[in-house]
Structure 1
């Protein structure tokens, strides 16, 4: 048995159903011998994006594995792994390495030295005898602790090396679910029950722990409204009477109203990262933070209490504790009708204000009209939607009211244009019965458009909606002279013909009256098993919910 076969055997036993990568690796053939198909992208970066999309939407314990060629393959994958690091994606990254003895010779790129700051564990195998234990250790780290990429570099000569090693049949690595201390649970519950205007800020830890059921049950029991971070959008149905929406850079009015007046904020499964793309926590609030990562506690905001624990475990502890306090629970229950009505009224006023944008019938088409049509065409109970960086994110997140856990793949701490195409393909790989769609600007599509062919070739029929306005949306303000003198914010091109040339379905819509029928055709196309691209000619729209007008700031990482 070779090193590659040892790796493939362990990965299959541990739950790998596909192996993702580009362009070559000894693991592809070794996995294929075990009937595990490869998903080979057109670029290493998109391969890692696919693995992230799979890891963040799978409803099973499938292992998300990506491999790339040593040297330039690992170098090109760096951006994707950095994105996965910021998105807290539990991806197993297995780059091949230079032959042992030459890895440290300049200018050879040694992955285990260069990825340390964007992985939570980063090692290289030097002896084939150590391979089984190191691989199992890597898999255990993927499944436990703070979700993040884990890297194990596999030298190419080690993968080819024959070995008669008798390695043990490892048990399936399972997720540990640490609980909070009983005194910490008492403090959280007493703070929430004693507060006048408490709010829960749910983070991605709720989704990672698959704790939506417990979150909804707890919110209903204590009558506390819930908002989510951008990465956690879908942690609670946004049609629920206690749902406030997503606290992103652009956000619905419900978020601002309730977070501004909150006296206690429970950040549940959130790192509370300060970011240009996330609505900040106002000064002077009493913040309680629960995270599985101790490094999150008090990282960016002062907290009154920091608790290390798995969200599902902690929520179950809180549910048990609340049920023991009938008096306080009854006091909170008395506000249920009033609270739900206030949230509904605030949401209705917000939607009434923005509905003229969403029903606009002018041409070029309003991007908000596109958002509305997507919401009305897609079956949100059976769809997974994501967005790209920039205006598509800010125009889409405040309005798309996702209903199912993992029905929306949100992101935003780093904003690499084009990431959503790989995310969508990964989601389709994880959930083949779902209709998966991404909304992109044309600059984002320009970064990764050739990988639309990956969706066609690998039978990952996703719907790509490209908003075309021939500008870098919002960037004119950051380079006014270059824009005025040289049109530096302009781009050009047509994208539906590219989709057709790459083997998929492509069409372009100019008239808003034709938009819905075009969307319906594209949805039918992906349901029939063929990737589709809908190009929509829109105008640049600088008005964003929660911001009023386009900020003079540009995306710090939107490149």
Structure 2
């Protein structure tokens, strides 16, 4: 059996159903022989995005696998891997490599050298009989600890090398609980605090901690916020929810975070960056994360709870129950009233935009009407980089775990298309929608043809304001004299030419009917749809900072 065949059989043992790929790489055909479906995209970045979306919606229980050719394939895939690394997403990359005889030639691209800083582990398979052990190590790293991409470069001659026999045992995830002493210290602080807030990150989604988090919040009667990445880990229609926050966010988060006397961070790195909530430096923090490198990185951890978000939350619940009873505290009517009033006041400021009848359509109206047009309990929605992200994170109310993909610690335009295709393959019974601007579509839009060809029925919403929204502040002279920020294009016709159902909408009263019609056609014909909303620019945001 050749090396590539060994890899294909191991992937089959790991229950891999899809291989996100672009040729030439002999692993593609070897995988097809054992029943793994190849999904070929138009660009390598998109296939990595698809692997990313697949892993996210699977909560890492199934890992997206991506295969590209040596040289240009590995070079073109870099952006997707870098984005997955920035967002802490586990994906398995299996690029080809030049033969071992010519690996030292300077002009040959080395994945090992170039991907070292955007992967959890990267190595070259130097002998085919090492592949089973290397893949076991890869899957172990993907399933345990801090999530991130893992890569094994397989040189062409290694892939062709014969392996007489092999043994492979799929590794199980390793999950840990926190130090019981620290759990007791954390509960001491939580029960003493007057105005604590529960701060939920993306790790809570991967840990499938949502039911436990709801119980914890209700026991403590504590307001709950999520990061952009954690959006959906706690239902945003829950009376204790104050919404999500990052660069932009709910005004309710800003209100409660600014007055908190204790922060309980669950499943969060508590990192400081442009797209993370701004954590007050003077407030004590109880910090739960699965990665020891997060502890005391950007924020001082008063109490550190290293471990799986769900297991640690359950530890906190048990300790709280032993102190104040299994039912926890009585309902805090004053807190619930305060949350409801602050939310109502904040939304009232934004209602003129969210319900605007102006033409061109206000993008906030599209966001507001989108959630009326679909069943949010059976949908996955995501933004793209830029204005769609900044407009959606505060105002799209997410009801279920993974009902929203809040990506973007790096901000690559066009990422949402591949992300949503991968998400749809991971959850085929759920409606899948990505919202992107016209600039983002220009980066990845041709891969809508991949969704057509592979019968992946997603809905792409393009907010077309014929511009890079807000970019005049970065290049005022270029914009004034040369119109550098402005764009042109008819994306309805492009989508039609690629084989998707498409529709152009110019009036706000047609937002909901157009979305519902597109969803019906997708269901009936099993093909993707694109709706191009002609919108105005609106550079006013509900900033989280």
**How far 1:173 moved relative to its partner?**
2.0
The answer as to whether partners of 1:287 and 1:303 remain within 8 angstroms in 2 is: yes
**In structure 1, distance between residues paired with 2:12 and 2:225:** 38
Instruction: Give the corresponding residue for 2:116.
Output: 116
**In structure 2, distance between residues paired with 1:42 and 1:300:** 39
**In structure 2, distance between residues paired with 1:307 and 1:365:** 47
In structure 2, do the counterparts of structure 1 residues 175 and 547 end up closer, same or farther at CA, with 3 Å as the change threshold?
Answer: closer
RMSD of aligned residue pairs (Cα, Å) = 1.4
**How far 1:527 moved relative to its partner?**
2.0
**In structure 2, distance between residues paired with 1:21 and 1:547:** 38
TM-score under structure 2 length normalisation: 0.98
**How far 1:283 moved relative to its partner?**
2.7
**How far 1:161 moved relative to its partner?**
2.0
In structure 2, do the counterparts of structure 1 residues 5 and 547 end up closer, same or farther at CA, with 3 Å as the change threshold?
Answer: closer
For each residue in 1:179-220, what CA deviation from the matched residue of structure 2 results, as whole angstroms up to 9, or x when unmatched?
111111011111111100001110111011111111111111
The answer as to whether partners of 1:200 and 1:225 remain within 8 angstroms in 2 is: yes
TM-score under structure 1 length normalisation: 0.95
1:247-258 equivalence runs, <5 A: 247-258=245-256
1:287-298 equivalence runs, <5 A: 287-298=285-296
> Which runs of no fewer than 5 residues in structure 1 stay unpaired?
549-559
1:103-142 equivalence runs, <5 A: 103-142=103-142
Instruction: Give the corresponding residue for 1:81.
Output: 81
**How far 1:525 moved relative to its partner?**
2.0
**In structure 2, distance between residues paired with 1:104 and 1:67:** 23
For each residue in 1:495-548, what CA deviation from the matched residue of structure 2 results, as whole angstroms up to 9, or x when unmatched?
010101001111111111222211111111222211001000000001111379
2:347 alignment partner, one of 334, 344, 351: 351
**Structure 1 runs (4+) greater than 4 angstroms displaced:** none
**In structure 2, distance between residues paired with 1:199 and 1:248:** 16
1:32-431 equivalence runs, <5 A: 32-58=32-58, 61-164=61-164, 166-170=165-169, 172-326=170-324, 333-334=329-330, 336-431=332-427
3-state SS in 2 of match to 1:325: helix
> Which runs of no fewer than 5 residues in structure 2 stay unpaired?
none
**In structure 2, distance between residues paired with 1:546 and 1:336:** 28
The answer as to whether partners of 1:15 and 1:63 remain within 8 angstroms in 2 is: no
**How far 1:250 moved relative to its partner?**
1.2
The answer as to whether partners of 1:14 and 1:173 remain within 8 angstroms in 2 is: no
For each residue in 1:300-335, what CA deviation from the matched residue of structure 2 results, as whole angstroms up to 9, or x when unmatched?
1222122311111111111110110027x88x7246
The answer as to whether partners of 1:200 and 1:224 remain within 8 angstroms in 2 is: yes
**How far 1:351 moved relative to its partner?**
1.6
User: In the alignment, is residue 533 of structure 1 matched against residue 506 of structure 2?
Assistant: no
**In structure 2, distance between residues paired with 1:32 and 1:15:** 13
Instruction: Give the corresponding residue for 2:20.
Output: 20
3-state SS in 2 of match to 1:101: helix
The answer as to whether partners of 1:48 and 1:81 remain within 8 angstroms in 2 is: yes
**How far 1:288 moved relative to its partner?**
1.6
The answer as to whether partners of 2:421 and 2:458 remain within 8 angstroms in 1 is: yes
The answer as to whether partners of 1:15 and 1:61 remain within 8 angstroms in 2 is: no
**How far 1:412 moved relative to its partner?**
2.1
**How far 1:345 moved relative to its partner?**
1.4
- State which drifts further: 47-56 or 94-103: 94-103
For each residue in 1:272-317, what CA deviation from the matched residue of structure 2 results, as whole angstroms up to 9, or x when unmatched?
1111122211231111211111111111122212231111111111
